[in-house]
Structure 1
Amino acid sequence: MDRWENHVAVVTGASAGIGAAVAKYLANYKMVTVNLDKNIEDYDAVRAEVSPEVAKRMHCIRCDVRREDQIKAAFKEIAKKYGPVSVLVNNAGVLVNTRLLTENNSEDVLNMVETNLIGVVFCTREAFHSMKANGIDGHVFMMNTTCGHKVPVQPNININLYPPTKHALTALTEMYRQEFLHQNTKVKVTSISPGITKTNFIDHVTVPPYTAVLNPEDVADVLIYCLQTPPHIQIHEVIMKAIGDIV
């Protein structure tokens, strides 16, 4: 990880869950981390969990990833305050408790599509422009899920539009791999797909009490492993589950 020291890593939705664990790990490895989040107040609690030295490397910008104008403004602020972007972790995501056939749920549907998919496209575009303009062989991560590969068939699990948006991330990962190559760069892209993980997402679904779950730190460990691979190696996709996960 030495080659990433003092480089800038942007993590979306890092005020809780997997994003928070990733931000802490990256800062612990001496990267300058910037959280893009609507809820920046909770990030103070995340920073309080690390040493003062590490906390100094953890920053936050209020940003709704559904808003292209806010994303552009945030990346301009990052460039001005902290420097070019080397790593992007597209972590922000939402799961709204609705049914696809429910009436008057347009706002919930748009929220999921715009957060889980469109925001990823806009953030990746801005991060890549920064990487290419500064000659950085950076790394883009898609925080995916096993739902992005196979839709679970379980009673009482209401995940509606969540799997389709995550399936889109699986396809996007390959599209970005091709585009990064065609742009004559060595920017890497990796999709990480955890199984059920202890985050606030569990509040939206009924998880069988006998299934095993991952911790956010488990996912952060895998991301760090991918990030420290040699420049000529790209881990394209990781699917991870806790032993005993039956979903």
Structure 2
Amino acid sequence: MENITIVTGGSRGIGAAACLRLARDGHRVVVGYRSDEDAARTVVHAVTADGGTAIAVRADTSDEHEVVALFDTAAQRLGPVTGLVNNAGIASELTRLADLKTDDLRRVMDVNVIGAFLCARQAARVMGAGGAIVNVSSSAATLGSPGNYIHYAASKAAVDALTLGLAKELAADGIRVNGVAPGFVDTEIHAQTGDPDRAANVVSRIPVGRLGTPEEIAEAIAWLLSPAASYTTGTTLRVAGGL
């Protein structure tokens, strides 16, 4: 079976690294992006320059019609979708819950929760036996992130529940569902919090003493999508340097 894999939020960070890593495993990759077309095309170019196949498709994952169109375009241009890396996610300004803006709360939940559910739902509708989903969560889901972004942590806890429940729901259909929970990783998402140096400033809290890299998270994603993980479903793999 040829692997046709959609990676949402594929134009940067963990998503971009996942596109490159999966392409090396022979996946034909759909680089999903919301706004940065140039970055998405850069990822496509990197994949094709390395001998792989990739296309860029714009989609706001919080919009159900755009999610359906994303999957339809992938199928029309590359073939039936067999894999989903449910990676698109956002953060917002670091703040205590009492000071959180309602607009920020709604946007984070729209993308991180509703968007993840919409993409997983469409995958469940179109995938057949042998399909696999990897939801990108966060170590924040179990740490709570007090004083920083409880709402973001809660959104990722919802993703963990999605992983567990959907894995049980789709097991009889031959579709595996797993998650990856990164810790502090050196990506652009920290700039969304208003503190671009935040990740570097928390290194002292990480048992292994350093930040993770997007490539390290991509390795975990690639394993979970591979035949080597054929007996693994309903689990969230923590890749957080011991945090």
Considering the TM-score relative to the shorter chain, is it more than 0.5?
Answer: yes
Q: Which residue of 2 aligns with 1:44?
A: 41
**Structure 2 counterpart of 1:242, which letter?**
G
Q: Which residue of 1 aligns with 2:202?
A: 208
Q: TM-score, normalised by structure 1?
A: 0.85
Q: How many residues align?
A: 230
Q: Which residue of 2 aligns with 1:87?
A: 83
Q: TM-score, normalised by structure 2?
A: 0.86
Unaligned runs of 5+ in 2: none
- Check whether the contact 2:23–2:47 (CA below 8 A) recurs between aligned residues: no
**Mapping 1:71-220, distance limit 5 Å:** 71-97=67-93, 99=95, 100-102=97-99, 105-132=101-128, 136-153=129-146, 158-181=148-171, 184-203=172-191, 204=193, 205=195, 206=198, 207-210=201-204, 211=206, 212-220=210-218
**Structure 1 counterpart of 2:135, which letter?**
M
Query: How many angstroms apart in 1 are the aligned matches of 2:122 and 2:111?
Result: 16
More helix by share: 2
- Check whether the contact 1:98–1:108 (CA below 8 A) recurs between aligned residues: no
Query: How many angstroms apart in 1 are the aligned matches of 2:182 and 2:68?
Result: 29
- Aligned to 1:161, the other structure's residue is in SS state helix
Query: How many angstroms apart in 2 are the aligned matches of 1:98 and 1:238?
Result: 26
Query: How many angstroms apart in 2 are the aligned matches of 1:69 and 1:125?
Result: 12
**Aligned-residue offset at 1:8:** 0.5
- Aligned to 1:101, the other structure's residue is in SS state helix
Identity of aligned residues (%): 24
List structure 1 runs of 4+ shifted beyond 6 angstroms: none
Query: How many angstroms apart in 2 are the aligned matches of 1:58 and 1:31?
Result: 9
**Aligned-residue offset at 1:108:** 1.7
- Check whether the contact 1:98–1:160 (CA below 8 A) recurs between aligned residues: no
**Aligned-residue offset at 1:232:** 4.6
CA RMSD of aligned residues (A): 2.1
Query: How many angstroms apart in 2 are the aligned matches of 1:177 and 1:46?
Result: 30
- Check whether the contact 1:17–1:200 (CA below 8 A) recurs between aligned residues: yes
